[in-house]
């Protein structure tokens, strides 16, 4: 074989060129991630209800979800954690179970759980190589003139939506102290009016939605827009009574705008702050996502209010960049060392250039093999 290529150098050059092109094309399709993508059939069912204590969440939420999930086939293990206002059920399927089928079955089982109407719909998250406690990207929002509550409101309304449209971004969450409308019901007055808490909850939930009123001239749709921005707006919500005129919510409750959420606080250097936590999708290229996020941040800085700044404090793509730079430097050092050793022992500058061609060709050719293995599995 060696003698054949020595007698036909053009064929050797053409084959090496083909190998170089195939390897380069394979490099464009190879996925890039910090850790190998391991598909584990594990899911977490999160349920958050602000007004539920630990015993309520365990008896009404956690147990109801577990009863429905246990009826699914191929279940290997079920664990749960319950705390005030939060319920988490960890479901593990047997190895070899199709992830998509398991997720669909789990979603259907959770939807059949008889949860109270006031409890929000549970959120199902697939656990795996991308599921960890550290965010992929964390942006600190600072302001010298705004309070943490005002800054949280601005971040939720303006900045958060700017990052949701980026390819590869799976979730954008704001960490801060949001505004909260606190409604304290008076049990004594409610008994006097003959009103229960479920009726109040239903009327508040209905008032938060824009109600359709029909069409004008059968052409223009009409909707009832009832803005609820201040405590006075909530106090004017009408609550119906049996066989009696309706009363306003403010007649039997105290409504206040709570400026500090005591259940969750985000601090930076010991001071209240606001941050944007971004999680990537399982198939995204972290370097491309990171570059687009940095580009988006540079564009947003020009339109920020005076005294407001954005600062990246966590970027997991930096570890990948550093690792790739180390691999590149090690490869260059290895080629130089091989060239020096070959040149010293063989005493030929021409032969010392052989590793400069053969080593990169070998590495590029291996990319085609890696691409075929990744495509198969």
Q: What is the largest CA-CA distance in the chain?
A: 108
Structure tokens at 187: 């049990």
Instruction: Identify whether the C-beta of residue 102 lies closer than 8 Å to the C-beta of residue 252.
Output: no
Per-residue model confidence as pLDDT tens for the chain (377 residues): 667 766 777 887 888 888 888 888 887 777 666 556 566 788 889 998 877 888 888 999 999 999 999 989 989 999 999 988 889 999 999 888 888 888 899 999 999 998 888 788 898 887 654 445 567 899 999 888 888 888 888 888 889 888 988 888 888 888 887 777 888 999 888 888 888 888 888 888 777 776 666 776 777 676 666 677 788 888 888 888 877 788 899 999 999 887 665 556 677 666 677 899 998 876 678 888 999 999 999 999 988 888 888 999 889 888 888 888 998 898 888 888 888 888 888 777 777 777 777 777 888 878 888 777 765 55
φ, ψ at 230 (rounded to 5°): -125, 160
Provide the CATH topology of domain 42-127.
Alpha-Beta Plaits (3.30.70)
CATH 3.30.70.1430 residue spans of the chain? 42-127
Q: What is the full DSSP assignment across 54-114? A: HHHIIIIIIHHHHHHHTTSTTEEEEEEEEETTEEEEEEEEPTT--HHHHHHHHHHHHHTS-
Measured CA to CA, the distance from residue 52 to residue 85 in angstroms comes to 5
| H helices present in the chain, as ranges | 2-7, 9-29, 54-56, 63-69, 99-111, 148-154, 160-164, 187-193, 197-207, 231-235, 286-301, 317-346, 349-352, 354-376
Instruction: Specify the CATH architecture of the domain 137-179+261-315.
Output: 2-Layer Sandwich (3.30)
Record the pTM.
0.62
Q: Which residues of 316-340 are buried (b: 16+ CB within 10 A; e: fewer)?
A: bbeebeeeeeeeeeeeeeebeebbe
Instruction: Identify whether the C-beta of residue 352 lies closer than 8 Å to the C-beta of residue 339.
Output: yes
CATH 1.20.1640.10 residue spans of the chain? 2-34+320-376
Q: What is the CATH number of domain 180-258?
A: 3.30.2090.10
Residue that has been written with the tokens 């429905």 in this structure:
68
Grouping H, G, I as helix, E, B as strand and the rest as coil, residue 179 is: coil
Instruction: Specify the CATH architecture of the domain 2-34+320-376.
Output: Up-down Bundle (1.20)
């Amino acid at each position: 074989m060696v003698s054949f290529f020595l007698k036909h150098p053009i064929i050797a050059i053409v084959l090496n060129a083909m190998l170089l092109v195939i390897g380069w094309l394979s490099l464009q399709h190879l996925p890039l991630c910090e850790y190998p993508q391991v598909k584990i059939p594990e899911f977490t069912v999160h349920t958050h209800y602000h007004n539920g204590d630990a015993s309520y969440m365990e008896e009404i939420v956690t147990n109801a979800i577990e009863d429905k999930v246990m009826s699914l086939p191929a279940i290997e293990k079920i664990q749960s954690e319950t705390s005030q206002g939060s319920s988490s059920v960890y479901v593990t399927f047997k190895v070899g179970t199709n992830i998509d089928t398991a997720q669909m079955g789990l979603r259907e089982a959770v939807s059949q759980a008889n949860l109270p109407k006031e409890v929000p719909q549970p959120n199902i998250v697939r656990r795996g190589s991308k599921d960890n406690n550290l965010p992929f990207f964390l942006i600190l929002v600072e302001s010298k003139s705004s309070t943490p509550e005002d800054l949280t409101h601005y971040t939720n309304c303006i900045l958060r939506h700017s990052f949701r449209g980026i390819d590869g971004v799976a979730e954008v969450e704001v960490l801060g102290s949001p505004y909260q409308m606190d409604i304290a019901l008076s049990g004594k007055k409610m008994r006097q009016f003959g009103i229960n808490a479920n009726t109040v909850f239903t009327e508040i939930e209905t008032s938060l939605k824009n109600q359709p009123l029909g069409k004008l001239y059968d052409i223009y749709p009409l909707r009832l827009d009832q803005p609820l921005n201040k405590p006075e707006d909530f106090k004017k919500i009408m609550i119906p009574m049996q066989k009696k005129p309706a009363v306003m919510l403010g007649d039997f409750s105290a409504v206040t705008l709570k400026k500090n959420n005591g259940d969750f606080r985000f601090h930076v250097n010991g001071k209240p702050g606001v941050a944007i936590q971004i999680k990537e999708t399982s198939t995204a290229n972290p370097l491309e996502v990171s570059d687009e996020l940095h580009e988006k941040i540079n564009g947003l800085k020009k339109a920020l209010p005076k005294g407001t700044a954005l600062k990246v404090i966590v970027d997991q793509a930096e570890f990948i960049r550093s690792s790739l730079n180390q691999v590149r430097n090690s490869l260059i050092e290895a080629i130089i060392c091989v060239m020096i050793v070959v040149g010293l022992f063989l005493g030929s500058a021409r032969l010392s250039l052989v590793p400069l061609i053969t080593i990169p060709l070998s590495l590029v050719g291996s990319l085609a093999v890696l691409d075929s293995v990744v495509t198969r599995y």
